[in-house]
Amino acid sequence: MASEEILGVIITFNPEIPALLGNLACITQQVTKVVIIDNHSSNWSQWKELAGNNAILIRNETNVGIAAALNQGLAFAAGNGFRYFISFDQDSSPGENMVAVLYQAFLQTGKHTAITGPVYEDFRLGASMNQHTISSAGVISPALTLITSGALYRTDIILSAGGFCEKLFIDYVDFELCLRLHQQNYLCYITRNAVLYHQLGNSGMRTFAGIRFIITNHSPLRRYYLIRNKIIIWKKYGVKLPGWVARDVLSTLKTIFGMLLFEKQRWSKFKSMIKGMINGITTSI
């Protein structure tokens, strides 16, 4: 693998230090250079020197959001001659040879491929989490959307598409980019023999009336951004991609029901979601 062509990008915000350092050690085994972009973590002083032994550190003076931080990683990749970059959340770790497998998927799928992504397993749930695939056939399958963490991006295509949408700040930044690329006739692929170990919030599994619910225990603020950004994206892409939007709406309704059944601060979260719904209806990108 031409690993010198691939930059690793980790976005951090108040990380759990042992997990971050362990994940960084795994990532540096698969790429030759890593940049950590920190969104003004309060515990920065406790880990910056330890992480700085294995990565280039960039610290923002404020929390600029995931999209802006990813655009910083994109700019670093472009400015330093990296043809590809692979992004990671602070709580994600690549499976064996994951980066090499994603790179090979680029070589096999052609010049219009913008992103290749892995399947991912939540190590708290002990379950595989499916992405939005177009087809389930084959080891490498077209996908409408991929999550940011573990995704391998082609730098020049992401630049030409306009990068990550900073107006969204956090949540659904990855999906919006994938849908925008789709409209520009670029392709995304999921690679089933590449695995990312990922943590979805403070997650757990609950059952009600025989139905399983994934409970993420996101904060009221995250609930606000999630529903606001979902509605913004549903409005933007609903006409051209009604099937994807319909599935996402149904998934969201199930998530809200599970939150009201099982999570703490449920009414505070629900009120934040109402505010997010209103702002989502009135905001466009």
Shared domain check, 156 and 23: yes
The whole-number pLDDT of residue 200 equals: 65
Shared domain check, 175 and 236: no
Low pLDDT (below 50) residues in the chain: none
Shared domain check, 178 and 82: yes
The whole-number pLDDT of residue 23 equals: 95
The whole-number pLDDT of residue 115 equals: 98
The whole-number pLDDT of residue 198 equals: 82
Shared domain check, 118 and 247: no
Shared domain check, 88 and 14: yes
Shared domain check, 223 and 194: no
Shared domain check, 167 and 30: yes
pLDDT per residue as tens digits for the range 84-123: 999 999 999 999 999 999 999 999 998 999 999 999 887 6
The whole-number pLDDT of residue 257 equals: 96
The whole-number pLDDT of residue 11 equals: 98
Shared domain check, 170 and 36: yes
Shared domain check, 146 and 104: yes
Number of structural domains found in the chain: 2
Q: Which domain holds residue 155?
A: 3-198
Shared domain check, 134 and 15: yes
Q: Which residues pair with 86 in a beta bridge?
A: 8, 152
Shared domain check, 221 and 174: no
Residue where a domain stops, chosen among 141, 174, 198: 198
